[in-house]
Structure formats: C-alpha cells, structure tokens
C-alpha cells in the first residue's frame, strides 16, 4: 500500500501543482504471489484433509509444524490493513443470526458487539489482496479437499466398508469478515446454506 504514490507518473505530479481538480487514486495491484499460493494449496491439501478428518482442524503455523505459513507475514499485514480500510469506509454492519425451532419458526437476532461484512468485487480497489486471496482459496480448496478426503476414504473402504464421501462446493458459499468489541459473544453455531433438508430455505 505504501508504494501507491510511487506509481503516479512524475509529469502527473507536476500538473497537480497547477490544477485544483483532484486526481482519483490509482488502484493498487495485489502483491500476493498467486502462483505460489495455488501451488501451496495443492501441496498442502492432503495434510489438510488428514488433519480435518482426524482432529477436526488444520494449521501449519510454525509453532505446530516445521513449515512456513500458507501466506507470509507481509501479506497478512497487508490484508489486515486492507480490512481496516474497508472498516473505515463503513462496509461493516451489525451482524445478525437466526435460530429455527422444531416447528420451523425462524427468529432473527443481533450478535451483540459483532459487525460483519461480505466482500464483493466492488471492494477490489480498496482490498485487492484480500479479494484475490479469498477468491483463490474458495475456488481451489473445496475440490482439492474433496479429492484428498475421498482418496483417503477409498483406501479405508476395504477395512470398514465405509463409503462416505466429501462433496464441498466452491459455488455455494458465504464469505464474511467480522470485527468484535470486547466482551462480545454469540451462540456457537454452524452456517449451513442448504440446511438439514437440503433446501435453500432451511438454514439450520
């Protein structure tokens, strides 16, 4: 983000001295190394699948295993700055959730002290690295995990005759950012866009 000013041509800067018309800020290009991220996701998918199916989570932070993080700290800081910029632009709104009782009645409630935001393409000029990172992870990771988990399960079929398969979608998803104030809480939950019955109207 700090390099943006260096991208303005010298002759344009000189013109600004004689003009009262503000010049729009040039959009930033992402500094995220896209090919490297794609390669790392592909290489790490088997270990992700194994960890998710055995312990329920995955991490490759240096404190856990001797491999570098998925994205370097410089990119993490850049994405964080871009998220802060979006917050300052007023893109975060009061976060809400819903509960559905046994009769199907939906009750919507606010999550106290939680503000959320769903990124879209209009935010690219403010957060190019954030949107690029999310786009690649959402597009690549589901099929990679599906293949890795299903391959692992296929090996186990002979032992327990369990033919469960994983079918994560890279088309039906909900990407959110959230910021919380001190002391904020909300119920533990799982977002399920197709619910228990497989219907878009059933968000349990």
Q: How many CB atoms lie within 10 A of CB 173?
A: 13
pTM for this prediction: 0.70
pLDDT at 90: 93
Which residues in the chain belong to E strands, given as ranges? 93-100, 106-117, 177-180
Reduced to 3 states (helix: H, G, I; strand: E, B; else coil), residue 85 is: helix
pLDDT at 55: 84
pLDDT at 88: 94
Q: Is the pLDDT of residue 23 over 60?
A: no
- Give the pLDDT band of residue 59 (cuts 50, 70, 90): confident
- Give the pLDDT band of residue 157 (cuts 50, 70, 90): low
For residues 78 and 85, give the distance between their C-alpha atoms in angstroms, rounded to a whole number: 11
């Amino acid at each position: 983000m700090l390099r943006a000013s260096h991208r303005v041509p010298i002759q344009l800067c000189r013109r600004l001295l004689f003009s009262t018309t503000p010049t729009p800020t040039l959009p930033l290009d992402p500094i995220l190394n896209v090919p490297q991220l794609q390669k790392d996701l592909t290489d790490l998918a088997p270990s992700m699948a194994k960890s998710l199916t055995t312990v329920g989570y995955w991490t490759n932070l240096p404190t856990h295993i001797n491999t570098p993080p998925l994205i370097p700290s410089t990119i993490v800081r850049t994405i964080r700055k871009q998220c802060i910029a979006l917050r300052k632009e007023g893109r975060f709104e009061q976060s809400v959730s819903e509960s559905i009782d046994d009769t199907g009645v939906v009750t919507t409630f606010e999550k106290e002290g939680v503000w959320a935001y769903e990124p879209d393409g209009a935010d690219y000029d403010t957060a190019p690295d954030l949107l690029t990172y999310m786009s690649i992870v959402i597009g690549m990771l589901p099929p990679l995990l599906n293949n890795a988990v299903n391959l692992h399960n296929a090996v186990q079929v002979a032992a327990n005759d369990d033919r469960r398969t994983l079918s994560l979608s890279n088309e039906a998803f909900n990407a959110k950012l959230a910021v919380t104030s001190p002391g904020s809480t909300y119920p533990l939950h799982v977002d399920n866009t197709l619910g228990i019955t497989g219907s878009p109207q059933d968000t349990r």
